[in-house]
Amino acid sequence: MKIVIYLTHPHVEAWNFQERHKVQLSRHLPGISVVVCRNSKEFLARLPEAEGVLVWYFKREWQKISPRLKLIATPAAGKEGIDLEPGTRLKVLFGSFHGLMMAESALGAMLYFCKAFQLSRDLQKKKKWARVKISKKISSLNQKKVTILGFGRIGQILGGILKPFGCHLTGVKRQAVNPPDYFDAEDRIVTVGRLMDILPETDHLIIILPSGAETDRLFTREYFKQLPRHCIVYNIGRGNVYRESDIVHALREKQIAGAYLDVFETEPLTETSELWSMENVLIQPHLSAASPHYLDLFIKELIPRLLPGGGTC
């Protein structure tokens, strides 16, 4: 199989395919020919001979110049980057290795809010030994009720990370499933239809939903109103799940206490967005899964899937 690779990213170095990744593929898959492209012109020139491609995105019109193509593999977990003709029988592999990296980001943000790190940093600049002021803002994850909206692979990994802190977990899915082994009597899985009922008792709401018609603006202003005023909202899924104006309203009106936002309705987040200037908001530019090891993990996951018997070769 000839695999043509076009994995470059203009902003994040760790998302660029490196020579070591080619060495890994060649070492473990000796029957595969690997061609690495550094720009779209090279990639499109090589597409007619490609039997498989490793890409961040794939355009529908590229199928017309890909007569031998059987496989598309992408490190991305989201499916929106791969656009194919309806009824296409190409094998498409999406990355499923993001869980631990995203769990680290969510946990870091939770501790940021619980331990009043921003306040400590602000007072540090003033050389203030403000134990009383800071201590009043410090809370704990222990015994807190955490709702994970989107309790799939990533959500369940995050739940496993949070459980040793003593959190009580509620996983929300479209359909009921068996709970993971780490659940205890205080934890539960509910369907989306019960979301309105569980929001009032949620201390931390973590959203890990994919994009798509089913999730588009699912979380309306009415849902924000159901959250307790002390609740922190975290979004590491996709920004389409609510209108930016709705979460801005919830934050401005103190319907919620704060938010960690990694994804947005419009990306990049516009400079005119009110979110930038809100003191109770922690913003990251869609980097919750960023890691120096990102593509190493992708290649490690991909190799067994390309081996004979792995379902692709």
The pLDDT tens digits for 22-67 are 999 999 999 899 999 999 999 999 999 999 999 999 999 999 999 9
Residue with tokens 């490196």: 18
Is CATH 2.40.37.10 correct for 2-97+292-306?
no
Q: How far apart are CA 276 and CA 281, in angstroms?
A: 8
How do residues 157-195 score in pLDDT, each as one tens digit? Answer: 999 999 999 999 999 999 989 999 999 999 999 999 999
Break the chain into its structural domains and give their ranges: 2-97+292-306, 99-283
At the topology level, CATH places domain 99-283 in Rossmann fold (3.40.50)
Same fold flag, 2-97+292-306 and 99-283? yes
pLDDT at 1 over 80: yes
Percent pLDDT > 70 in the chain is 99
For residues 234-246, give the mean pLDDT: 98
**Quick check: 269 and 283 in contact, CB under 8 A?**
yes
| Per-residue pLDDT, 312 | 62
The whole-number pLDDT of residue 309 equals: 73
